[in-house]
Structure 1
Amino acid sequence: MKKPFLLLFLCLLSTLLWSQKKITDKHITYQQERMVFKQWDADKFTPKPGFLGLNPDYWITWALHPNYPKTDLRPLGPLGPQTQRLMLAAAMQNTDNLYKLHADTLRNTALSEASNYSSALSFADPLWLMYYRNEFEGLLNQADADMLAGLSLAEQKYIISVGLFDWYREESSALLERLEIARSTTLDRGSRIMAYHRMLSEFRKLSASWETKKSRAKTYLSIRSSVQKLRAGEVQRPASPKSDIQIANDILKKSKL
């Protein structure tokens, strides 16, 4: 009973030892090197043809695959599938970058155009902040008391009574309304600046006309006061050294000359 058992044990042991033997087939090794990392070298395809091509192993191995040694099948070869996938991925990435650049350009252009047309940003326009806001200060913060500043009570009453004050206030209100419309309307920045320029010219003309009317009001009231005093006899007329006839004769003589 012991001998059969011992023989069986030895058979199993030999089988295990044989199964752990390392296989070092150079043909498999060459193929692994070719497919993974080394150059596709046709000279390392084994078995070789032998003398005058009479090696039967060569014909058994390569007779049905004559073009296999000449075709580079490495995944990372110059034309390998993995190389093609990498090139395709790089091309797609480049295309994505171009699309992104185009989208960013469109976005920047849209933002620029929006800021150029939007009325929401008109208050932050550099030209408005540095120039036009100061020039329109008298119109934007205008009050009735400021319109009559520098005038006496009699002059204020006169200007109000003849309608000059109402005229100037209506013109100023109309101009201010147009200015606010230009600031709050969706408009091209160039057109908005040109509107500012035109209205500033009108505001300066209106202000100059208003100052002229106030000055003339002072002159008119002064003349009217003098006339009233003359009519009332409060002021004596200066005596003329010549009579009216003498003055007329002098004028005629000068005209003949």
Structure 2
Amino acid sequence: MKKIFFLSVFLLSFFPYSQSVKRLKDLSIVGQEKRQVFYEWNDWRPKPTYFLGVQTNFAYGQIWGMWAPSRNRDYKNGPDIRPLTPIGKQAQRQVQMDMMDDRTNKLLNHTNSWKEQENNEFLNYTNLTTISDPLYLVYYKPNLNSLEGFNINSPFYVDWGFSKEKPFKEAQQYGMIAHYREMILELKDKYSIAKKVDVSRGKRLLMYHDVFLEWRRMKQRLKDLESTFYLQDISKADLMKWKQSQIPNYTRSDAEIFQEALNQANIY
């Protein structure tokens, strides 16, 4: 027990001294650290000493002097190669990195501008934004809802604009209702295509307006059909001429459609 006690006291007394740290400051290492960054290039250690012109510092002679390796002397007598000087390698790399960052930012801004332009073009051409177009919502959609909801298979004469059933039956007998049914179906398809196709906004609005003008004429024809034509007196030749006159021209150019829209605007 006594041996264990004395051994414990010895170890405890030795422990503080074994944990002490002695700071080492080697001026040669400090000078080398200065040369490795940017601080100073001329702090060469150990310093040379002379006696009657003869080098007497053996350590200097081994590291930087006549007995030193040639690479040590070339390093000491060579150019300043500190990496963080204004013309150092690291400073040059940093300048190059800054130039590359600037170039990258310019390319990124250019790419973003093209991307924004492409998005604007996409929003202008895509059919996904059709339902949010202000002019479509305010004007064309309310006026074309009757076309979109028109039941071409309706057996009721009121839905076709007739006030009496007999003229409606006679129009069915002569094939006029079937003819109008085909025309309205084509007009409905044209309206559906105008909403779904990917075209510019101006072209889409012209398509809407063309459908709107045709639908307005179609409704007027349906209203006037009962009073305009006396079905019992129509011959087959007259019926064919009448059908040909009712077929709309869907091969018009955009300029013709636009001119007709201007004329209609002046009329109404």
Both structures adopt the same fold (TM-score exceeding 0.5)? yes
Unaligned runs of 5+ in 2: 1-21, 232-268
Question: Could you say which residue in structure 2 is the equivalent of 1:242?
Answer: none
| Pairing 1:151–2:163 present | yes
Cα deviation, residue 204, structure 1: 1.3
Distance 1:107 1:83 in 2: 35
Distance 1:23 1:182 in 2: 85
Identity of aligned residues (%): 24
Structure 2 letter corresponding to 1:194: L
Structure 2 letter corresponding to 1:36: V
Distance 1:21 1:55 in 2: 35
Cα deviation, residue 100, structure 1: 2.9
Question: Could you say which residue in structure 2 is the equivalent of 1:86?
Answer: 94
CA contact (8 A) 2:34 2:41 kept: no
Structure 1 letter corresponding to 2:137: L
Distance 2:212 2:163 in 1: 25
Structure 1 letter corresponding to 2:180: Y
The verdict on how the C-alpha distance between 1:69 and 1:198 changes in structure 2, with shifts beyond 3 A counting, is: farther
Cα deviation, residue 66, structure 1: 10
Q: 1:85 is paired with a residue of what secondary structure?
A: helix
CA contact (8 A) 1:123 1:129 kept: yes
CA contact (8 A) 2:130 2:195 kept: yes
Structure 2 letter corresponding to 1:79: I
Deviation digits for residues 197-240 of structure 1 (CA, Å, limit 9, x no counterpart): 122112112222322334546xx79xxxxxxxxxxxxxxxxxxx
Question: Could you say which residue in structure 2 is the equivalent of 1:204?
Answer: 216
TM-score by length of structure 2 reads 0.54
Deviation digits for residues 134-160 of structure 1 (CA, Å, limit 9, x no counterpart): 211111110233533561223433443
| Pairing 1:135–2:147 present | no
CA contact (8 A) 1:45 1:69 kept: no
Question: Could you say which residue in structure 2 is the equivalent of 1:169?
Answer: 181
Cα deviation, residue 175, structure 1: 1.4
The verdict on how the C-alpha distance between 1:29 and 1:163 changes in structure 2, with shifts beyond 3 A counting, is: closer
Distance 2:23 2:169 in 1: 125
Structure 1 letter corresponding to 2:97: A
RMSD in angstroms over aligned alpha carbons? 4.1
CA contact (8 A) 2:160 2:222 kept: no
Distance 2:226 2:65 in 1: 116
The verdict on how the C-alpha distance between 1:170 and 1:29 changes in structure 2, with shifts beyond 3 A counting, is: closer
The verdict on how the C-alpha distance between 1:156 and 1:24 changes in structure 2, with shifts beyond 3 A counting, is: closer
The verdict on how the C-alpha distance between 1:150 and 1:66 changes in structure 2, with shifts beyond 3 A counting, is: same
Cα deviation, residue 28, structure 1: 5.7
The verdict on how the C-alpha distance between 1:55 and 1:95 changes in structure 2, with shifts beyond 3 A counting, is: farther
CA contact (8 A) 1:119 1:186 kept: yes
Name the larger-Rg structure: 1
Question: Could you say which residue in structure 1 is the equivalent of 2:240?
Answer: none
Question: Could you say which residue in structure 2 is the equivalent of 1:102?
Answer: 110
| Pairing 1:111–2:112 present | no
Aligned length: 194
TM-score by length of structure 1 reads 0.55
CA contact (8 A) 2:140 2:208 kept: yes
Distance 1:212 1:82 in 2: 90
CA contact (8 A) 2:162 2:168 kept: no
Q: 1:186 is paired with a residue of what secondary structure?
A: coil
